[in-house]
Amino acid sequence: MTKQATDKERTMSISRVVSAAEWEVERDALLAKEKEATRARDALAAERRRLPMVEIDEDYVFEGPNGKASLLDLFEGRRQLILYHFMFGPGAHGWPSAGCPGCSMFVDQVGHLAHLHARDTTFVLVSIAPLAKIEAYKERMGWSIPWFSSAGSDFNADFGTTTEQGEIFGLSVFLRDGDRVYRTYFTDGRGVEALGSVWTFLDLTPLGRQEDWEHSPDGYPQTPCYEWWRRHDEYEDAAVPS
């Protein structure tokens, strides 16, 4: 352990220290609230499943590793499609050689797609970058997730991921009924956290995400949100904020 790490541990405040019996009582009280939150999320998911849908009748053309593809092709024959709008284009951090570090962090956390496929659901990425740049960055990151270019189409603008400030990230969900395609859901911002386990894991820890928007005890380490995020091959080249 380095002297810096030792000093940090000595000066950090910690939460109350109680007996095991007292801890059990407070933990059980928190568990009751967690169960309420779980049931609330279940109810919200049920409401999400009942949202009205919008039929997509525009013939969007994407470019993928096997050539041109339509929105229908992106389903790969399955009934459902989850599509992540990945920020990789002019104005995005890292352009033109790398995709957005935040989007990269999201995608790193997507599990094996066989589990989604078992529920008749496909997951893909779409960016406005040309396919050649996508393929090069995909190889660097070691990803196998299908990733398509929407360059030259109105797809991003039509689906609300292009603004006056540039491209934004988001998550769209589609349903296929035969050859007819419907958009059923969209979220952005923290709604996209559903893709990642990093935040779920950190939320279980006493220090949390260690970001300055969190309500944590005085003295807990915190840094500005997003400041610590890196592409997974860049952490060793950058000092993690303390």
What is the token pair recorded at 58?
């525009």
- Please, what's the b/e burial string for 167-185 (b: 16 or more CB within 10 A of its CB; e: otherwise)? bbbbbbbbebeeeebebbe
Find, among 136, 123, 33, 41, the residue nearest to 84 by Cα.
123
What integer pLDDT is reported at residue 241 of this predicted model?
46
List the one residue out of 180, 195, 178, 184 whose CA is nearest residue 49: 184
Cα separation of 175 and 159, whole Å? 15
Divide the 242 residues of the chain into consecutive groups of 10 and give the mean pLDDT of each group.
48 82 96 97 94 96 97 98 95 94 95 96 97 98 97 90 77 97 95 89 92 89 89 78 44
What's the gap between Cα 26 and its chain centre? 32
Q: Is the pTM of this model over 0.85?
A: yes
Q: What pLDDT score does 8 carry?
A: 53
Secondary structure class of 220 (helix, strand, coil): coil
The predicted pLDDT at position 11 comes to 66
* Domains, the chain, with CATH or none: 54-192 (3.40.30.10), 197-242 (no CATH)
pLDDT score, position 163: 65
Half-sphere exposure of 238 (CA within 13 A, CB side): 12
Longest alpha-carbon distance in the chain = 64
Of residues 6, 192, 242, the one with CA closest to residue 83: 192
pLDDT given at position 195: 86
